[in-house]
C-alpha cells in the first residue's frame, strides 16, 4: 500500500508544483507554477482474489517492499484498459502463478487514508501448481487455523480473510463493504 501521492514536478514542463486551490475549484490541487497545468489526483483501485482450494486459501509471501516477507492475498493496482475482473485474474497469475475461476465480488474496502479502494473476488483454483512471479517468495495454501494472522501484510487482506472464513462457516457468501481507517 502506498502513501498518498505528492507531486513535486509538473508532468508537462517539469517546473515545481505548488498545492493551492484554483479559483474555479474548491480543494487543493497540484498546480504548476510555470505553465499552470492542474494535476488532478484521484483514488486508485487495488484488485485481487481469495483463491480457494477445498478448505484452504492461497497466500503469497511478499518479495517486495512494502511489507517484505509478509503474507498477502494476490492483489495489485488495476491497469488502464482492463476491467476489475481482468485485473483480478492478472494479479493472481503474476503474483502466484495460479489459475482461477472468479466467483463474484466479495469485499469492497475504502482505504481513504491512502486514497485507495480495494476489491477482492472469491476465486476457485483450477489446479494447485503454483508458479509465483518475482514479487513473491513463496505461494502456498493455508487452512484457517494455519493462516499467519500476525504476519499479514495489509489490513484489507486481514479483513477479507476474516470475512471469508466467517461466511464459509455460515455456508453463505455475501458482498461485504467496509471502511479501513
Ligand atoms: Zn508546468
Kindly report, residue by residue over 31-58, the tens digit of the pLDDT: 999 999 999 999 999 999 999 999 999 9
| Residue 67 cell numbers, joined | 511489507
- Give pTM, 2 decimals: 0.92
Three-state SS letters, 3-35:
CCCCCCECCCCCCEEEEECCCCCCCCEEEECCC
Contact 72, 152 (CB under 8 A): yes
The strand pair at 44-53 and 136-143 is best described as: unpaired
* Mean pLDDT on 105-127: 97
CA–CA gap between residue 114 and residue 5 (Å, rounded): 8
Residue 12 Cα to ligand 1 midpoint, Å, equals 5
DSSP secondary structure of 104-172:
EEEEEEEEGGGTEEEEEEEEEES-------TTEEEEEEEEGGG--GGGBS-HHHHHHHHHHHHHHHHT-
Q: Given this model, what pLDDT does residue 178 score? A: 98
Q: What is the pLDDT of residue 6?
A: 82
User: What is the 2 CA–ligand 1 centroid distance (Å)?
Assistant: 25
pLDDT, tens digit (0-9, with 9 covering 90-100), for 121-169 = 999 999 999 999 999 999 999 999 999 999 999 999 999 999 999 999 9
pLDDT of residue 2: 46
From the CA of 38, how far away is ligand 1's center (Å)? 9
List residues, by chain if needed, whose CB lies under 5 Å from ion ligand 1: 10, 12-13, 15, 32, 34-35, 37
Q: How many CA atoms does the CB half-sphere of 54 hold within 13 Å?
A: 5
Nearest 5 degrees, angle CA 160-CA 1-CA 4? 125
Whether the CB-CB separation of 108 and 122 falls below 8 Å is answered with no
Ligand 1 centre distance from Cα of residue 39 (Å): 10
Check residue 1 and give its pLDDT.
40
Amino acid at each position: 500500500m502506498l502513501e498518498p501521492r505528492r507531486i513535486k514536478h509538473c508532468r508537462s514542463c517539469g517546473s515545481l508544483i505548488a498545492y493551492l486551490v484554483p479559483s474555479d475549484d474548491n480543494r487543493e490541487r497540484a498546480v504548476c507554477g510555470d505553465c499552470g497545468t492542474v494535476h488532478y489526483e484521484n483514488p486508485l483501485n487495488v484488485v485481487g482474489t481469495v483463491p480457494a482450494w477445498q478448505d484452504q486459501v492461497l497466500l503469497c509471501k511478499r518479495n517486495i517492499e512494502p511489507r517484505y516477507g509478509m503474507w498477502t492475498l494476490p492483489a495489485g493496482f488495476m491497469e488502464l484498459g482492463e476491467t476489475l475482473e481482468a485485473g483480478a485474474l492478472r494479479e493472481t497469475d503474476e503474483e502466484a502463478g495460479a489459475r482461477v475461476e472468479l466467483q463474484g465480488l466479495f469485499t469492497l474496502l475504502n482505504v481513504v487514508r491512502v486514497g485507495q479502494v480495494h476489491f477482492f473476488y472469491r476465486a476457485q483454483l483450477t489446479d494447485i501448481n503454483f508458479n509465483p512471479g518475482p514479487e513473491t517468495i513463496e505461494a502456498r495454501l493455508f487452512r484457517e487455523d494455519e493462516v499467519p494472522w500476525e504476519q499479514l501484510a495489509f489490513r484489507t487482506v486481514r479483513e477479507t480473510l476474516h470475512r471469508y472464513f466467517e461466511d464459509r462457516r455460515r455456508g453463505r457468501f455475501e458482498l461485504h463493504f467496509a471502511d479501513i481507517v
